[in-house]
Chains A and B, each alone.
Chain A
Amino acid sequence: GPLPHDNPDNVRLAERYLHRFYGLPAGLRGRKASLDAFQDKIKEMQEFFKLEVTGNLDENTLDVMQQPRCGVPDVGEYN
């Protein structure tokens, strides 16, 4: 089957999640720098949840992103 990161819904979900909880800057899609930022934030999230740190939007990572949770960001300054 298709890899999870190929699914645009999954990418949107991940962007929303990383934007909200890991301070991913909005509106940077499509450039190399933004891909790096996206992967760095995924790595940060994977490290926090003790997942395998790959920077890729794998099934385990998506699974955690879909779980019900608290709205307070996991890292960074609280605004």
Chain B
Amino acid sequence: HFPRKLKWQNTNITFRIVNYTPDLKKSDVDRAIRNALNVWADVTPLTFKKLNEGIADIMISFGSKEHGDYNPFDGPNGLLAHAYPPGPGIGGDTHFDEDEHWTKDSSTYNLFIVAAHELGHALGMSHSSDPGALMYPVYSYGEGFPLAEDDIEGIQELYGPNPNHRKVKPKPDAPQKCDPMLSFDAVTELRGETIIFKDRFYWRIHPQFVEPEQTLIKNTWPSLPNKVDAAYENPEKDQVFIFSGIRMWALNGYTLVDGYPKYIHKLGLPKSVRKIDAAVHIRETGKTLLFTDEEYWSYDEASGSMDTGYPRSIETDFPGMGDEVDAAAFHYGYLYFFHEHVQYEYSYNSRKVIRVLRANSIFNC
């Protein structure tokens, strides 16, 4: 919240769209603003009435550089918009930088997402440090209902919940790297970095960074799904393969490779396999192991086909580490299997578990 917990004293708030961006149709701007207000109305007792003239509580406008409030914009990119906390006069007013290109999709800046964030300020919300929250100060594109738990807790602290209890599904808070019960969705290398997927986020561990960096998947790759099941790097091809459900994508560096997504069945898996739990490439053998439920498959990268004799039982071939795997990685002759909050260090040569660690020991927790 802003200092002194500034809020509107009544629940019937008026707004007016003073001018429109030429980037979108007028009706698209109206819809983006109305939908952005509805995001907050869904979880509070607030209602919003549109005025077509006169002074409204929230005056919405598009302007560039110095636009009348001595708080100038800066041209394309950088600052996108700003809004004032509740109060008389300029309080609640919401300004968008006309030098940005506003869209209704994931290209450049999505007006609905920016408006929902700014209108959060206009209602009394300050910035959140949770990178998954709508009130995080850095722009990121996302789909679905944009509020996270943190946003809802914040706004309801000011106005209380919606008495009509309309069902909304908030996005969960960003996972905490040192949560002792933390599990992973997928782990892969990417040109010397380690990428760890968890829920809508990924962590990037770079040998020269002391702290891992947490980012929304959609922020880097808007066309990837919000949930990754498995991932592995093939360093010979300089590609990282990402699996979600029955689809797979390829990255070259951080760039998505054209021609994807493809169906995982193109690898030679039977149609009965609907999801890959974990994947790991073993450089020495040129094989990629694909784990599904209690079994695993071996894919030969050179021939582009599945090895015969598979699937085999995980429990039989990797004794000591249970029968299911969430994520897997390979370093210097050791396989690292992640399952729930546990990490198994498995010697590929001596065929046994050497150490059992917390999954998040990878973060030095």
Chain A interfacial positions (CB closer than 8 Å to B): 21, 48-52, 60, 64, 67-72, 74, 77-78
Contacts and interface: CB of A to CB of B under 8 A. Distances in A.
Nearest to B95: A71
Contacts of A21: 137
A49, A67, A71 interface centre (most CB from chain B within 10 Å): A71
Contact of B127 (A51, A52, A74, A77): A74
Interface string B108-121: 01000010011001
7 contacts: A50-B131, A60-B209, A69-B137, A69-B138, A70-B127, A71-B73, A72-B127
Interface string B58-78: 000000000000010100011
A72 B129 contact: no
A68 B2 CA distance: 22
A67 B3 contact: no
B105 interface: no
A48 B136 CA distance: 10
Contacts of A71: 71, 73, 79-82
B210 A72 contact: no
Contacts of A72: 82-83, 121, 126-127, 137
A52 B210 contact: yes
Interface in B101-147: 109, 114, 117-118, 121, 126-127, 129, 131, 137-139
Nearest to B210: A52
A60 B131 CA distance: 15
A68 B80 contact: yes
B211 A52 contact: yes
A67 B210 CA distance: 21
Interface in B124-175: 126-127, 129, 131, 137-139
**Top-10 shortest CB links A-B:** A71-B82, A52-B211, A71-B79, A68-B139, A52-B210, A67-B138, A69-B138, A70-B137, A69-B137, A74-B127
Contacts of B84: 78
A48 B129 contact: yes
A68 to B, nearest CB: 5
A69 B139 contact: yes
B85 interface: yes
Contacts of B138: 64, 67-70
Nearest to A48: B129
A68 B79 CA distance: 6
A52 B121 CA distance: 28
B1 to A, nearest CB: 11
B137 A74 contact: yes
B6 to A, nearest CB: 9
B118 to A, nearest CB: 7
A64 B117 CA distance: 18
A50 B214 contact: yes
